[in-house]
Structure 1
């Protein structure tokens, strides 16, 4: 708070100094204000933030030592030089004219107006660096612009480093998802092709054995029990293999895999579920089909665990090069704090899959009762 108060005081004093200077030139400086000049100059001189002022032609008329140090020069070297020598627009790359015009739109109010901005500074040796601060215009008399600024190079370096680290983590997450899907596919095929065939062969042998002559009632009872156990094992094996990797994804594509997911969800949880989709719009390559299937699977899992819903609707349709996905339920609705929980791994996984496809996801409960998930993913490069 003290630092902010110092900045505000320094800015006010600076504008006062400029106003007094203008008054002197115009021969109308109030005598009662002249006593404030030495104290105001000292405030500006001692301020830790860089402060400069420019006239209507964008020529610097005042600079404090902090500004000279910021730009690697002297106060004398800055006064009289054009503002464009030291500051350029970060968006246009031109001089301060565009920058000041941007803020001038709101400067017609009475009094003074400070506006945050971010531009690029130019040191005396030509080095460019990011600047953040505020710019204000004194509306009384001749136009004067006061700029209070600070070097944010270190903060920008930290932000860039965090951004790179975040991107690397996201790439790692996508790579781990790919490896996980490959392992799931491999295990599912092993279970279905090897263990599944062995169990089916055992059941056939047991059936032939039951048909032989001379079997006692006790033997037949034991064999019937063995057959039931084999049937249960085969059913469990198929369920586990399907959860690992639905064969419909490989044999029929995304549309039929989603139909199977819907049917299994209804059978297991008894929640009526509607799938609105067109098979022709869901002919995508394996990576996109798998990612979208897992998104839908995770959404249904969350609904089953937390929503207490009585109905669910899944809608998928193409719009230009994007696939628009909506999952809605009529349950108790998701709370904002639920979406921020560290243990909400399902939602985190959904977001990561969407972001890995350069898509967008929105989870809301704005239409009570229930929760709505909207996903948009570009699929123009994934068509088959």
Structure 2
């Protein structure tokens, strides 16, 4: 309490306790003839009014300050909401850009695989046919040394043809009209044929799943299976158990029997791992009761993405 308020509150009591001669000079001339009781009431009323005015002024100042702070808080909240919305829009643009970039890369892989098979594969087959004719001629001419060397060359060419087919199969994805289940089964069959692996494949499909509308998610699942199988082909394994899980809002893949350690996720290409993270997916190796870990992939699925230029125009 400041000094003025203290004096106003204590003034009536001072007036009552002071001597008459002293109180006489403290009272205005117009009120000196009034009764002491009336004088005390007037002084107390004046002090109460002054206190009320000061309290009202203080409360008005506090209300104005509260309104100012409330306005600043509302402005900060609005600015934060706008920043969060802009960040979400930018993340969505990056998300769609990654998906479209993966579609472009898949198209390029498919083109390279087609050229490998149509050009290099055709030339190797032609060369093998020529060597086969020369081998027959050498056999007819009773030249065993030449025939043996030609037969060895034919075996090398057979190995080159198999390698070209394996590389082309690893590059090839699946077309827009191909189903994910068919593509996974084809990939498993090719690896089983090349490396002699045994496998089981299961597919759990939810009728309400939107996975068929999300090509990038299906392509990511296909690439994970390809890379995991390429890693598994270097080590002798038992039977692989692959499960495709299509839920209403997610697409999952589980692979058992790869003898994978929990830290083996880093063995996959870094660009594939970054793509899965950008898409909001989770890829990990889960420890199981057996010696082999379980590869687990889960990806959210979305409807078909609009054109990226249109999306960026909306964000801008």
Common fold: TM-score over 0.5: yes
Contact conserved, 1:333 with 1:368, CA < 8 A, in 2? no
2:225 aligned partner: 296
CA drift at 1:291: 4.0
Write the distance in 1 (CA, Å) between the matches of 2:102 and 2:118.
Answer: 24
- Is 2:296 the partner of 1:373? yes
Instruction: Label 1:250 to 1:241 Cα distance change in 2 as closer, same or farther (>3 A).
Output: farther
Q: TM-score, normalised by structure 1?
A: 0.47
Higher CA-based Rg: 2
Between the two proteins, the alignment pairs up a number of residues equal to: 240
Write the distance in 1 (CA, Å) between the matches of 2:145 and 2:237.
Answer: 49
- Is 2:100 the partner of 1:175? yes
Instruction: Label 1:193 to 1:160 Cα distance change in 2 as closer, same or farther (>3 A).
Output: same
Write the distance in 1 (CA, Å) between the matches of 2:135 and 2:196.
Answer: 38
Q: TM-score, normalised by structure 2?
A: 0.56
- SS of corresponding position for 1:334: coil
- SS of corresponding position for 1:71: helix
1:314 aligned partner: 242
1:245 aligned partner: 172
Write the distance in 2 (CA, Å) between the matches of 1:250 and 1:222.
Answer: 46
CA drift at 1:304: 7.1
CA drift at 1:377: 5.2
Contact conserved, 2:98 with 2:275, CA < 8 A, in 1? no
Contact conserved, 1:316 with 1:323, CA < 8 A, in 2? no
Write out aligned runs for 1:158-197 (5 A). 158-197=83-122
Equivalent in 222, 233, 249 of residue 160 of structure 2: 233
CA drift at 1:332: 6.0
Write the distance in 1 (CA, Å) between the matches of 2:115 and 2:195.
Answer: 28
Contact conserved, 2:170 with 2:226, CA < 8 A, in 1? no
Write the distance in 1 (CA, Å) between the matches of 2:194 and 2:179.
Answer: 23
Structure 2: 5+ residue runs without aligned partners? 1-54, 305-316
**For the aligned residues, what is the CA RMSD?**
4.8
Structure 1: 5+ residue runs without aligned partners? 1-40, 46-52, 54-59, 73-119, 122-128, 130-150
Equivalent in 169, 180, 183 of residue 257 of structure 1: 183
CA drift at 1:318: 4.8
Greater fraction helix: 2
Write the distance in 1 (CA, Å) between the matches of 2:273 and 2:229.
Answer: 11
- Is 2:128 the partner of 1:203? yes
Write the distance in 1 (CA, Å) between the matches of 2:201 and 2:149.
Answer: 44
- Is 2:215 the partner of 1:287? yes
CA drift at 1:188: 0.7
Write the distance in 2 (CA, Å) between the matches of 1:67 and 1:339.
Answer: 55
Greater fraction strand: 1
